[in-house]
Amino acid sequence: MNEKANLLNGAALAYIGDAVYEVFVRDYVLSKGETSPNKLHKAAVKYVEARGQARVMQHWLSFDDYLTQEEITMYKRGRNNKANTKAKNASIGDYRQATGFESLVGWLHMSRKFDRLQVLLQAAVDYIDENQEG
């Protein structure tokens, strides 16, 4: 599956990455004990919005060795993808970086690199928790 994952374009990787990250975040907010659908949705938004994902990527990229070269390549594949949609409630820069984040998540999932995927997803929500505004 890794060979096929390497052939997918950034949009396809981001498509599956968005879903994988959404399920992870929903599981994460449920694990905190909340059960009200409205409160669950509000709790999840800070993790899945483009601005938060963009900040996570900026943080990871600020280290020379946090992401592998292959992971950076997959991030860039998504970030540089020509999107046919416009960003909602996000700058174009944040939207593109978030698409790169989702592309990386999608590539890790499609490549069956589940251990690394788990590490990065947990690191993403931890970073957002530690650096949220307000």
Catalytic residue among 18, 65, 94, 126: 18
Mean pLDDT, residues 117-126 taken together: 98
Q: To 5 degrees, how large is the angle CA 12–CA 14–CA 20?
A: 110
Could you tell me which residue, 69 or 9, shows the higher pLDDT?
69
| CA distance linking residue 125 with residue 42, whole number of Å | 15
Is 18 a residue of the active site? Answer: yes
The pLDDT of residue 2: 66
Residue pLDDT, tens place only, 20-34 = 999 999 999 999 988
| CA distance linking residue 42 with residue 62, whole number of Å | 29
The pLDDT of residue 34: 83
- Tally the domains of the chain: 1
pTM above 0.75, yes or no: yes
| CA distance linking residue 90 with residue 94, whole number of Å | 6
Q: Does residue 35 surpass a pLDDT of 90?
A: no
CATH of the domain at 97: 1.10.1520.10
Residue with tokens 């505004």: 133
Check: CB of residue 51 under 8 Å from CB of residue 94. yes
User: What range does the domain containing 111 cover?
Assistant: 2-131
